[in-house]
A and B are shown apart, each in its own frame.
Chain A
């Protein structure tokens, strides 16, 4: 049973860096059959793709966030990470990590339950 679990601070101040960890169990993050995604959901309900990382470390980011985000992976810990700099209230959201199989359309077949991050002074 594949499981993903997001973790990280739930509250940060404007201009700080948001740092989240996704811990994967039930599958190896080094598996070549998948890549690994971050998605967020804003309070008004919309979902926004952040970016993904391949097992080898190559990344692909949403152009609208590219200047502020870094996604990385630690295969020894079976974890991948999200860093988002210069946080503002607009970054307040539930952050999800997902697994993406090599299907057309980039579907996420497993999601974490999400972690709420609030940016507020």
Chain B
């Protein structure tokens, strides 16, 4: 069971917006910074968001992150069929003294 909680799946139509949530506690999200990854099985995961809201070079602004208290969200606007993938959140947990992940959310673009 993952330390961070994500919905197993979300879906939306092309051009729509989807929000993926990541819930934790004061020992992880509440006192840390969140990263988000996109993963297509068989490929290298891709960093989408780091330090809660920042995008690496080359990541379109359709992807945005936010954090409030012990939860974080990844928003994807203007959905494209190519966005269909698994999405993971990650942070550091001070109680476990370890990097921790969410269980992953599968995005289906209908």
Residues of A that sit less than 8 Å from B by CB? 4, 37, 39, 45-49, 62-64, 96, 103-114
Contacts and interface: CB of A to CB of B under 8 A. Distances in A.
21 contacts: A45-B86, A46-B2, A47-B2, A47-B88, A47-B101, A49-B98, A63-B96, A63-B98, A103-B54, A105-B33, A105-B51, A105-B92, A108-B35, A108-B37, A108-B47, A109-B50, A110-B44, A111-B45, A111-B46, A113-B43, A113-B44
B56 interface: yes
B18 interface: no
Contact of B98 (A4, A62, A114): A62
Contacts of B90: 47, 105-107
A39 B88 CA distance: 13
A112 B44 contact: yes
B101 A46 contact: yes
Interface in B26-51: 32-35, 37, 42-47, 50-51
A37 B90 CA distance: 14
Contact of A45 (B92, B96, B100, B104): B104
Interface of B: 1-2, 32-35, 37, 42-47, 50-52, 54, 56, 86, 88, 90-92, 96-101, 103-104
A15 to B, nearest CB: 25
Given A105-B33, A113-B42, A49 B104 contact: no
Contact of B99 (A45, A49, A111, A113): A49
A96 B45 contact: yes
Which label, helix, strand, loop or mixed, suits the secondary structure of the A interface? loop
A107 B104 contact: no
Given A46-B103, A46-B104, A105 B96 contact: no
B44 A103 contact: no
A83 to B, nearest CB: 19
A114 B99 CA distance: 18
A106 B45 contact: no
Nearest to B86: A45
A48 B101 contact: yes
A105 B32 contact: yes
B44 A104 contact: no
